[in-house]
Amino acid sequence: NAGVMQNPRHLVRRRGQEARLRCSPMKGHSHVYWYRQLPEEGLKFMVYLQKENIIDESGMPKERFSAEFPKEGPSILRIQQVVRGDSAAYFCASSSGTSDYNEQFFGPGTRLTVL
Amino acid sequence: QQPVQSPQAVILREGEDAVINCSSSKALYSVHWYRQKHGEAPVFLMILLKGGEQKGHEKISASFNEKKQQSSLYLTASQLSYSGTYFCGTGGGSQGNLIFGKGTKLSVKP
């Protein structure tokens, strides 16, 4: 029973390049959340998606960042023209959305380093 | 608003107990507790719902005081494996994103 999967686990980009982070939710889960974590800090919500819909993107920077969760395939967080400040760990979590508990289970994260 | 966790850090000897608090200035629907070890993903521990229901870990307990808008996580007879940073996350409803506190770093020494 696979958990939440993220790839790549580590990503190095030069300033100005694009970064694409992928997240496959747990089997049976249709809700995906993306969080960003800076070193020694807590998790900051970025965006909440269901299949083909963005439900809440209030935590996502208005420029350069976008997210999608297509009908088929993983959810993708895209960062265009990366800058050094984008270096962080990006975690994806998924939930079934069918329970009042709505537990969110996290993937292993993608550690982005911008040179 | 971001929930406030206290203490920021605590050091224990194996077998000792600890309490970690999480409070919010906003009405709480649910409180989620996670533990994160360095370089790893947060691991789900416990969720508490308004109304007193809870679901989670067998060896860790928690309370949820709706009037005070506060939750406490109780770690009893701590083990070395309990070391890590504990985060509480508050949710505004049955679905939706979590707003996490800054974390409480717990170190358990032999």
The residue-averaged pLDDT of B59-88 equals 89
Q: Please answer yes or no on whether B42 and A43 come within 8 Å at the CB atom.
A: yes
The answer to whether A46 and A55 are in contact (CB under 8 A) is no
The residue-averaged pLDDT of B65-89 equals 91
Is residue B12 scored above 80 in pLDDT?
Answer: yes
As a whole-number percent, the residues of chain B with pLDDT over 70 amount to 89
Is residue A1 scored above 60 in pLDDT?
Answer: no
CB count, 10 Å around CB of A75? 23
3-class secondary-structure state, position A33:
strand
Pair of tokens at residue A22: 């992928």
Distance CA B3, CA B21 (A): 10
The answer to whether B89 and B80 are in contact (CB under 8 A) is no
Distance CA A9, CA A84 (A): 18
Residue type, A52: E
The residue-averaged pLDDT of B1-15 equals 93
Distance CA A61, CA B94 (A): 25
Of B69 and A98, more confident: B69
| pLDDT band at A100; cut points 50, 70, 90 | low
Q: A9: which chain B residues are within 8 Å (Cβ-Cβ)? A: none
Distance CA A79, CA B95 (A): 26
Is residue B83 scored above 80 in pLDDT?
Answer: yes
Pick the range with the lowest mean pLDDT from A52-66, A81-95, B95-109: B95-109
CB count, 10 Å around CB of B97? 23
Is residue B95 scored above 70 in pLDDT?
Answer: no
What pLDDT score was predicted for residue B89?
92
Ramachandran region of residue A57, left (φ > 0), alpha (ψ -120 to 50) or beta? alpha
Chain centre to alpha carbon of residue A4: 11
Which of B1, B86, B97, B99 should one mutate to test binding to chain A, selecting the residue with the greatest count of A CBs within 10 A?
B97
Distance CA B79, CA B71 (A): 22
pLDDT (tens digit per residue) in A53-88: 999 999 999 999 999 999 999 999 999 999 999 999
Is residue A99 scored above 80 in pLDDT?
Answer: no
The residue-averaged pLDDT of B59-64 equals 84
B8 touches A: beta carbon within 8 Å:
no
Distance CA B22, CA B31 (A): 9
